[in-house]
């Protein structure tokens, strides 16, 4: 993997070329002061001081039991005990507020490569829907998945010369409340040839996909050949697409051809070794038994490291061994 291949997958790089076939997005370059805010380790958790009165969150996110740790008693003259003032980014906030308005009042955010999917639970809506600057700051500041963008984007590059991008960007993407998780798919491209297509949301079984499988496959293949192939300059990559109710395919994202991009219903080994064939393989979760981990752990499958030797790999091995031992000890339980 080369740096240039990683860089091509940044949304500010590919979106201008493909915006006619993607969802509406407005991109802001982030000031370095805001990037520092996202990476600093500070307690209590301070949200930016808002220049408007329409944000729903208080500036401080803290545990009420820790109140005495930062609250200064009346009459104290020790300035070192005064709580730190909340950060403020008035120009960025105003620009973002205007963008949210122009995108219909609600957006979901992402940085150069990643969105803060791991912090959707912290939002009042339980998803990535944001209607204010504070909504966005809360998701970004709380996210562990964004640490990859901020600190480790080039770690897997064999020609690594950079520790991080020279500039970071915030992409505000129009929020569509009617989007269905079963209609998003990941496509795998090697040597500019489409090898396979996988259902994107692999933590759920959607019976309606069984009847639509051939039609969806044809729609996505046509979209790739007409709009993506040879236009995206990397030879090896993945892309995520969404199929609308009107049977229109929309480009969601590009991802590097690398181990940190999940192969979902494929494996990287078989993708690397597979031969280009006329018939692209299209995989979906075809039964409840084929559902992959995610919902039961409350962790999105995208953020579970299932590689050999990982913590989750060992956990599942131990769980499987324990289940087998229980079946040996109590064979009637498995009847």
pLDDT digits 0-9 by tens, 88-113: 999 999 999 999 999 999 999 999 99
* Residue pair 213/207 in contact by the 8 Å Cβ criterion: no
First and final CA of the chain: distance in angstroms? 49
Report, as an integer, the average pLDDT of 39-53.
74
274 and 310 housed in the same domain: no
Residue 229's pLDDT is 96
Which helix (H) or strand (E) segment holds residue 17: the answer is: helix 11-18
Domain containing residue 243: CATH number = 3.30.470
Give domain status of residue 185, yes or no. yes
**Cα distance between residue 105 and residue 136, in whole Å:** 13
120 and 193 housed in the same domain: no
Instruction: Say yes or no to pLDDT of 23 above 60.
Output: yes
What range does the domain containing 210 cover? 181-290
Residue 192 neighbours by CB under 8 Å, 6+ apart = 229, 230, 235
12 and 105 housed in the same domain: yes
Give domain status of residue 297, yes or no. no
**Cα distance between residue 97 and residue 133, in whole Å:** 7
Give domain status of residue 200, yes or no. yes
**Averaged pLDDT score across all residues of the chain:** 83
Residue 66's pLDDT is 45
Report, as an integer, the average pLDDT of 319-328.
54
Q: How far is CA 308 from CA 86, 268, 297, in A?
A: 43, 13, 19
Give domain status of residue 296, yes or no. no
102 and 79 housed in the same domain: yes
Taking phi over 0 as left and psi of -120 to 50 as alpha, with beta for the rest, 149 belongs to: alpha
Give domain status of residue 300, yes or no. no
25 and 67 housed in the same domain: yes
pLDDT, tens digit, for every residue of 78-91?
555 566 778 899 99
17 and 64 housed in the same domain: yes
83 and 124 housed in the same domain: yes
Give domain status of residue 67, yes or no. yes
Report, as an integer, the average pLDDT of 59-70.
44
* Residue pair 130/139 in contact by the 8 Å Cβ criterion: yes
Give domain status of residue 299, yes or no. no
**Nearest one of 294, 298, 92 to 202, comparing CA atoms:** 294
Report, as an integer, the average pLDDT of 178-206.
95
186 and 310 housed in the same domain: no
pLDDT, tens digit, for every residue of 123-168?
888 899 999 999 999 999 999 889 888 999 999 899 999 889 999 9
Domain boundary among 144, 174, 204: 174
10 and 147 housed in the same domain: yes
Binning pLDDT at 50, 70 and 90, where does residue 333 land? very low
In 53-209, which ranges are E strands? 60-61, 107-110, 169-174, 184-190, 193-199
Helix (H, G, I), strand (E, B) or coil at 195: strand
Instruction: Say yes or no to pLDDT of 227 above 50.
Output: yes
Domain boundary among 118, 148, 174: 174
Tokens of 225: 């050949």
pLDDT, tens digit, for every residue of 236-293?
999 999 999 999 999 999 999 987 899 999 999 999 988 777 789 999 999 998 888 7
Percent of the chain with pLDDT over 90: 61
15 and 142 housed in the same domain: yes
Give domain status of residue 269, yes or no. yes
35 and 157 housed in the same domain: yes
Q: How far is CA 178 from CA 38, 39, 175, 182, in A?
A: 30, 33, 9, 12
In the chain, which ranges are E strands? 25-29, 45-46, 60-61, 107-110, 169-174, 184-190, 193-199, 237-243, 249-256, 281-283
Q: Is the pTM of this model over 0.85?
A: no
Pick the more confident residue, 157 or 322. Answer: 157
Distance of CA 27 to the CA centre of its chain: 16
* Residue pair 48/135 in contact by the 8 Å Cβ criterion: no
168 and 188 housed in the same domain: no
Domain boundary among 174, 203, 234: 174
Instruction: Give the total number of structural domains in the chain.
Output: 3
Binning pLDDT at 50, 70 and 90, where does residue 223 land? very high
* Residue pair 51/90 in contact by the 8 Å Cβ criterion: yes
């Amino acid at each position: 993997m080369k740096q240039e291949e990683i860089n091509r997958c940044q949304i500010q790089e590919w979106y201008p070329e493909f915006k006619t076939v993607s969802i509406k997005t407005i991109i802001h370059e982030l000031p370095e002061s805001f990037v520092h805010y996202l990476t600093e380790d500070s307690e209590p958790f301070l949200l930016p001081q808002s220049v408007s009165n329409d944000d729903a969150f208080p500036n401080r996110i803290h545990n009420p039991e820790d109140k005495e740790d930062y609250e200064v008693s009346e009459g104290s003259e020790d300035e070192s005990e005064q709580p730190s003032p909340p950060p403020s980014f008035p120009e960025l906030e105003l620009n973002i507020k205007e963008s949210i308005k122009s995108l219909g009042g609600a957006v979901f955010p992402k940085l150069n490569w990643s969105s803060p999917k791991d912090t959707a639970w912290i939002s009042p809506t339980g998803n990535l829907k944001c209607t204010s600057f504070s909504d966005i700051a809360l998701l970004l500041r709380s996210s562990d998945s964004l640490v990859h963008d901020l600190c480790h984007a080039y770690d897997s590059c064999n020609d690594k010369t950079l520790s991080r991008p020279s500039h970071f960007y915030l992409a505000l993407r129009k929020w569509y409340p009617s989007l269905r998780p079963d209609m998003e798919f990941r496509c795998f491209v090697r040597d500019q040839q489409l090898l396979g297509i996988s259902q994107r949301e692999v933590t759920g079984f959607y019976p309606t996909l069984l009847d639509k499988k051939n039609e969806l496959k044809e729609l996505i293949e046509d979209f790739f050949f007409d709009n993506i192939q040879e236009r995206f300059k990397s030879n090896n990559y993945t892309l995520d697409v969404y199929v609308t109710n009107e049977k229109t395919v929309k480009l969601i994202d590009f991802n590097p051809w690398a181990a940190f991009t999940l192969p979902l219903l494929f494996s990287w080994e078989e993708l690397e070794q597979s031969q280009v064939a006329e018939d692209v393989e299209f995989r979906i979760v075809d039964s409840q038994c084929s559902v992959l981990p995610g919902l039961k752990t409350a962790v999105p499958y995208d953020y579970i490291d299932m590689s050999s030797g990982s913590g989750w790999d060992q956990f599942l091995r131990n769980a499987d061994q324990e289940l087998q031992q229980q079946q040996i000890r109590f064979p009637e339980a498995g009847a």
